[in-house]
Structure 1
Amino acid sequence: MSVSSEPPLEPLLFQRRAQPAVWGGRALAEQLGVASETDEPIGETWELSDLPGAETRVRGGAFDGCLLHELLAERADEILGESRAGRDGRFPLLVKFIEARQDLSVQVHPRDGDLGLTVPGKTEAWYFLPDCTPEARVIAGLKPGAAVEAFARDAASRAVLDHLRETRVHSGDCLLIQAGTPHSIRAGAVLLEVQQSSDVTLRMYDWDRVGLDGQPREIHVDQALQVIDFAASAPEVVRASFPPSDPPPLARIAPLASCEFFRLHEVRLTGAADHDPEGFARVLVVVDGSGTVSGPSGEAKPLRFGDTILLPARLGATAFEPGPRGLHLIEAVAL
């Protein structure tokens, strides 16, 4: 599809992709309206992706059905602006929801260039949703004093848990998981993940189970040990902090996480507000409430839970109008 002669860009929404996983569930996928021809558990829904072979398509508007990569190929400056493109000119971020009904493997993601890989590394941020169970926990980082030799000895067995820090999580918590940090999302956690555009995972321990095909999943202990940052401190939970105000402003925004690849903000709207991308590609995800978004053309697009909106960097002012319960979004700014 050629897009060079198409109308000006607008706020872009996307068709999601369901990703089956042995540790997944069905509740989140059903809430998001994901259709499936099988009863396989759905671990992730990819809301915005430019990963080769797993690209998401624009939903609605003038560019309905167009792959994000097709738009980038011809209108990169309009979309990315000052944001850095990913490898091969791809969009640099991937956005997904995760539902863990079982524990995910104990794993680690490489940094850019680790192991001689030609694909990007994977730093990610987690924002936890109200559907988390009261017992929801995650493993994130090493306990203080964890020894390399002892960790290596135990990495492929349940004993690896003795070296890792486990944290209870609640709705509204955020964790930044830098590449090189060993981690696991445990059963009961439901979250939004913003990450570098990469799907490289190095598993160490997979809870002695088999995959959807009935076979043990691949383990990568040797490679994982090469990329773990044993000197790094375990990440800390962060929650948005909004300064008190009486009456509160109609639009509130607070920082959640920042790294060299993206910044993450929590946005709460109780009244109409304009939002200018200010030269950077911005992705906003509805995590509660409803409303509409309108670009320079004035066309209002309805928003509900799970909708993911890409604001092209050169779009200009974009109008958000919350519904009766307000509009609660997580914003990722691609750097």
Structure 2
Amino acid sequence: MSLALPLRFTPAYMSTVWGGRRMEQWRKTLPEGPIGESWDLADHERGMSVVAEGDLAGTPLRELVCRYGKDLVGPSHDGGDFPLLVKLIDANDRLSVQVHPDDRLARQLGVGARGKTECWLMLAEGGELFVGTKSGTTREGFERALAGGDVASQLNRVVAKDGDFFFLAARTVHALGKGCLLYEVQQTCDVTFRVDDWGRVGLDGKPRQLHVRESLDTIDFSASRGAAIDAREVPHPAGGSVRKLAACEYFTVEERRAGHTAGGGNGICSIVTCLAGAGTLATAGGSVRLEPMTTWLVAAAAGPWSATAAPLAGLRLMVAQPA
């Protein structure tokens, strides 16, 4: 069966005013200009994933989901698109201050059937980011700061470290900043309400559109947590170590470090991203090569998978599953 082997997809690159060039060290075909995002796994019109190799080469992820359904995704799939989107992000400048609706608000505002809860696994030292409002912030105070050009004073500012993990429930106001390199796992949704853009212009030389009213109606001013999640590294029964990073109603995410480890086999697809090291990712259908900053989708029907490092290499993996 075509789903027996892990699937790799051609990345969809996004040129952004705040993007950088760090992906070039892993991606030899990186387009010219400032590249802010690589959509490594996406079932979305803005950046549809297409199988890169094997029997299914050239097949869009949307077609795979329609054709295989639960065999690809798992028992929670009840039609529609693939539920998760995985991005590699390189910020050479601040992103806009922004917020995403939750499922209920997205439907209420008529912007889609799904909101956007997301999470970030940081991969470099020193990136600046803003997560949530400071304790005690009110809508009125936030509006005054916004009007005065000082919205940053209302936000929790963090200087990130490699390995830091942040969980952002929908309706949490946030902004990535200069120096951030990270993988993001999120609901499949591209609805963003831009609160403030630091007074700059876009790649076309014009100010980017703001959505102040929608943003203020969306922001959860009680979402004040700005610190990284405290996820301790513990032994994994299948080998190596694990940090259990997130388990919410939409996805689970963990980080593995191992010479050999395994997963899957629970009837749900696995998204396996190699963050560092090299080796092989194997299922009963065969094996593929793991290289840094590559993402593979192991279909639910493929069963258990195992990852084995090359000699002296070691593996650092991010593993995500839809809930």
TM-score range, shorter chain: over 0.9
Match of 2:70 in 1: 77
Alpha-carbon distance in 1 for matches of 2:316, 2:205: 40
Matched to 1:61, the amino acid is G
Match of 1:318 in 2: 305
Match of 1:302 in 2: 289
Alpha-carbon distance in 2 for matches of 1:146, 1:90: 37
Displacement of 1:238 after TM fit?
Answer: 2.1
1:108-134 CA distance string (max 9 Å, x none)? 11111312322421111000003x4x3
Out of 216, 229, 244, the residue aligned to residue 255 of structure 1 is: 244
1:149 aligns with 2:140: yes
1:117 aligns with 2:111: yes
1:187-235 CA distance string (max 9 Å, x none)? 0111110111111111111111110011100100000001111123324
1:215 aligns with 2:209: no
Match of 1:21 in 2: 16
1:226-274 CA distance string (max 9 Å, x none)? 11111233243025422379xx984322201222111110111213x34
Displacement of 1:60 after TM fit?
Answer: 1.6
Matched to 1:41, the amino acid is P
> Where do residues 221-236 of structure 1 align in structure 2 (5 Å cutoff)?
221-236=212-227
Match of 1:3 in 2: none
Match of 2:267 in 1: 279
Q: Is the 8 A contact 1:48 1:308 kept in 2?
A: yes
Displacement of 1:13 after TM fit?
Answer: 1.1
Q: Is the 8 A contact 2:51 2:59 kept in 1?
A: yes
SS at match of 2:68: helix
Cα distance change of structure 1 residues 71 and 210 upon mapping to structure 2, 3 Å threshold: same
Out of 120, 123, 127, the residue aligned to residue 121 of structure 2 is: 127
Alpha-carbon distance in 1 for matches of 2:138, 2:90: 32
Alpha-carbon distance in 1 for matches of 2:162, 2:10: 25
Match of 2:57 in 1: 64
1:265 aligns with 2:254: yes
Alpha-carbon distance in 2 for matches of 1:206, 1:144: 23
Instruction: Provide the identity percentage.
Output: 36
Matched to 2:159, the amino acid is R
Displacement of 1:71 after TM fit?
Answer: 1.1
Matched to 1:316, the amino acid is G
Matched to 1:190, the amino acid is L
Alpha-carbon distance in 1 for matches of 2:223, 2:3: 45
**Gaps (5+ residues) in structure 1?**
1-5
Q: Is the 8 A contact 1:277 1:312 kept in 2?
A: no
Alpha-carbon distance in 1 for matches of 2:229, 2:27: 26
1:328 aligns with 2:319: no
Q: Is the 8 A contact 1:157 1:205 kept in 2?
A: no
How many pairs are equivalent?
319
Displacement of 1:295 after TM fit?
Answer: 2.0
Q: Is the 8 A contact 2:117 2:170 kept in 1?
A: yes
Match of 2:44 in 1: 51
Runs of 4+ in 1 over 6 A off after TM superposition: none
When structure 1 is superposed on structure 2, of 284-293 and 252-261 the one drifting more is 252-261
Match of 2:95 in 1: 104
Alpha-carbon distance in 2 for matches of 1:31, 1:297: 27
When structure 1 is superposed on structure 2, of 61-70 and 171-180 the one drifting more is 61-70
Q: Is the 8 A contact 2:271 2:295 kept in 1?
A: yes
1:40 aligns with 2:33: yes
Alpha-carbon distance in 1 for matches of 2:225, 2:58: 41
When structure 1 is superposed on structure 2, of 236-245 and 180-189 the one drifting more is 236-245
Matched to 1:321, the amino acid is T
Q: Is the 8 A contact 1:172 1:239 kept in 2?
A: no
Cα distance change of structure 1 residues 20 and 30 upon mapping to structure 2, 3 Å threshold: farther
Displacement of 1:154 after TM fit?
Answer: 2.5
When structure 1 is superposed on structure 2, of 21-30 and 147-156 the one drifting more is 147-156
Q: Is the 8 A contact 1:11 1:309 kept in 2?
A: yes
Alpha-carbon distance in 2 for matches of 1:27, 1:213: 23
1:62-103 CA distance string (max 9 Å, x none)? 211211111111110101122345xx6100000001111111
Alpha-carbon distance in 1 for matches of 2:46, 2:152: 34
SS at match of 2:232: coil
TM-score by length of 1: 0.90
